[in-house]
Amino acid sequence: MSDLPTPDQQSHPHPHPFPHPRRRAVLSGAFVLGAGAVLGSGLSGNAWAAAAAGPVISGCAAWRARPPSAPVKLLPTAPHKIIVHHTATANSTDYTQEHAFALSRSIQAYHMDDNGWIDSGQHFTISRGGWITEGRHSSVAALGAGTQQVESAHCTGQNTVAVGIENEGTYTTVDPRSAQYAKLVDLCAYICRQYGLRPYQIFGHRDFNNTNCPGDRLYAMLPQLRADVAARTGGDPGWTAWSTARVGDSGERVRSLQYLLNSRGSSLTVDGSFGPATESAVRAFQTTNRASVDGVAGNQTWHQLVNPVRRGAQGDPVKALQSQLNAHGQALVVDGSFGSGTEAGVRAFQTSATLPVDGVADARTWNRLLVQTG
C-alpha cells in the first residue's frame, strides 16, 4: 500500500477535525512514567540511555496503537528539519494522559481508515495537557539512536527529511496552553540534540504546503520557539525570509532556480532568465508538492526545492551552489561535483555571512546566498 495521501488529502492535510475516539479505543488504565522514561518504545542499551535524557514520550505500545498495515520504513539518513503542525481539532479541556492516549488512537484511526496510510502520519503528538506520544511506530527508537528517521506522511515533499510534530488543538485565534508549549520546546530541543539540528531548522507546515496549519497564532510563535530551543542547545535561531523570483526577473537567483528545478525533473535551459518555460516548471513543481500554485518562486517553493548539499554530492544542485558561490566572489568550475574547492568556497561564504562554518550548504546558507544575489 502506498503511504502517500491522495491528491485531495495532500492539498488539505487537515481536512476536518479528527473524529472522536472510538469506543473500542478507550483506554481503561493509565501508565505512570518517571522523568526521562520512554514507555513502549522497544529501546534497549545505548538507545535507551540516549532516549532517557529527553522528555517523557509514551510509545505506541503505551497508548495501544494498532499495528501498521504495512512495514514502517526506516530511512538510512537523519532528518534535517522539524515541522510543527496543529491537529485542527477542538481545544479540549481534558488534560489527562488518558485523553492524550485516546487522541493518539483517534488520529491513527483517521490516518489509516480515512487517508489510507499505513500508520499515523506524524512522528510525535503533544496533547493540550502536555503529554507527548509517539505517532508512527519506531519513531522513538529512531530518535533515541540519533542517526536514522522513520519515513512519515505528515507533509507532502518532506516526509523523508523532516520530523513532524502534531500539537493537539486549533491555533488560528488562540495560543497553545503554556504546558503544551513547554513540552514542544522540550521535544524540539531533544530532537535538535539527537540529530545535530540547529534551532533555525524548525518550521511550520505552511512553509511547505498550501495549508493554514499550524494556525496563525502557533505559526507566529515559531521565532520564539526557535529562540527558546536555542537557549537550550546553543546557536543563532535567526531566519531570513526567502527572496522571490518571478516572470521577468533575471540573474543568479533565477539561474539557481532553474538548476534546482532541473534536479527535480524539469529540462530548462539554465540562462538566468525567468520566462514562460520557467514559470510553467515552477507551477508544475508547486502542484506536485502541494504548494500554493502561483508560478512565483517564494517561501514554499524554495523550502521545497532546497536540501542540504555537502562534499561528495553531484549534479544540478551542486552546479547551482557553485554558480552562486562564484557570484559571491569565488572562482569555481561549475561542474556539479562537490569537492574540496567547493567546500572551501562554502566555508568562506559562511564566514563572511556569520553563519556556522561547516562547509555544508544547509537551508540557511542557501537562503543567504539567494537573498544576496539578484
Here the cell at position 125 is 503528538
Q: What is the per-residue pLDDT for 350?
A: 97
Q: What is the pLDDT of residue 35?
A: 33
β-strand partners of 361: 309
Query: What is the rounded distance in angstroms from the CA atom of residue 54 to the CA atom of residue 64?
Result: 22
Which pLDDT score is estimated for 184?
98
How, if at all, do strands 81-86 and 162-167 pair? parallel
Give residue 373's pLDDT: 76
pLDDT band per the 50, 70, 90 thresholds, residue 329? very high
Count of CB atoms situated within 10 Å of the CB of 309 = 22
pLDDT band at 315 (very low <50, low <70, confident <90, very high): very high
Q: Is the pLDDT of residue 50 over 80?
A: no
Q: Is the pLDDT of residue 46 over 80?
A: no
In this predicted structure, the answer to whether residue 41 has a pLDDT above a threshold of 90 is no
Q: How many other C-beta atoms lie within 10 A of the C-beta of residue 321?
A: 27
Distance CA 146, CA 310 (A): 19
Give the model confidence (pLDDT) of 147-196 as tens digits: 999 999 999 999 999 999 999 999 999 999 999 999 999 999 999 999 99
Distance CA 199, CA 232 (A): 10
Place of cell 561547516: 358
Predicted confidence (pLDDT) per residue in 272-307, tens digit:
999 999 999 999 999 999 999 999 999 999 999 999
DSSP SS3 for 359: coil
How do 132-134 and 124-126 pair as beta strands? antiparallel
Which residues are within 8 A (CB) of 321 and not within 5 positions of it... i.e. 6 or more apart? 309, 338, 342, 346, 361, 366, 369
Confidence at residue 122, expressed as pLDDT on a 0 to 100 scale: 98
Return d(Cα 138, Cα 142) in angstroms, integer: 6
CA-based Rg of the chain, rounded to a whole angstrom?
A: 21
Q: Which has the closest alpha carbon to 362: 309, 305, 304, 286?
A: 309
